[in-house]
Amino acid sequence: MIRINENFLKLQASYLFSDIAKRIAAYQEANPDKSIIKLGIGDVTEPLPLACRDAFHSAIDEMGTRSGFHGYGPEQGYPFLREAIAQNDFQARGADISADEIFVSDGAKCDSGNFQEIFAEGIKIAVADPVYPVYVDTNVMAGRSGPSVDGRYQGFVYLDSTPENGYVPAIPSEPVDLIYLCFPNNPTGATATREQLSAWVEYARESGALILFDAAYVAFVRDDSLPQSIYEIPGAKDVAIEFRSFSKNAGFTGTRCAYTVVPKGLTAADSKGEQHSVHALWNRRHCTKFNGVSYPVQRAAEAVYSDGGRAEVKALTDFYLENAKIVRAAIEDLGYACVGGDNSPYIWIDARRPSWEFFDDLLNEAGVVCTPGAGFGLCGEGHIRISAFNSRENVEMAMERIRKALAK
Of 187 and 367, the one with the shorter C-beta distance to ligand PLP is 187
C-beta of 271: minimal distance to ligand PLP in Å?
Answer: 31
C-beta of 299: minimal distance to ligand PLP in Å?
Answer: 18
Burial environment of residue 364 by CB neighbours within 10 A (0 to 12, 13 to 18, 19 or more): middle
Please state whether beta strands 338-340 and 346-350 pair in parallel, antiparallel, or not at all (unpaired): antiparallel
Contact footprint for ligand PLP (CB under 6 A): 42, 107-109, 112, 132, 182, 186, 214, 216, 245, 247, 253, 258
Of 286 and 367, the one with the shorter C-beta distance to ligand PLP is 286
Of 182 and 349, the one with the shorter C-beta distance to ligand PLP is 182
- Helix, strand, coil percentages, rounded to 5, for the chain: 45, 15, 40
Give the residue at shortest CB distance from ligand PLP: 107
C-beta of 110: minimal distance to ligand PLP in Å?
Answer: 6
Region of residue 347 (left: phi > 0; alpha: psi -120 to 50; beta: else): beta
CA distance 216 to 135: 14
Residues paired with 258 in a beta bridge: 105, 245
Q: Are 331 and 189 in contact (CB under 8 A)?
A: no
C-beta of 277: minimal distance to ligand PLP in Å?
Answer: 25
The dihedral of CA 299, 304, 306, 309: what is its sign?
positive
Question: What does 354-383 look like in DSSP terms, one character per residue?
Answer: -HHHHHHHIIIII-EE-EEGGGG-GGGTTE
Of 188 and 196, the one with the shorter C-beta distance to ligand PLP is 188
Of 56 and 252, the one with the shorter C-beta distance to ligand PLP is 252
C-beta of 327: minimal distance to ligand PLP in Å?
Answer: 18
Of 198 and 371, the one with the shorter C-beta distance to ligand PLP is 371
C-beta of 41: minimal distance to ligand PLP in Å?
Answer: 10
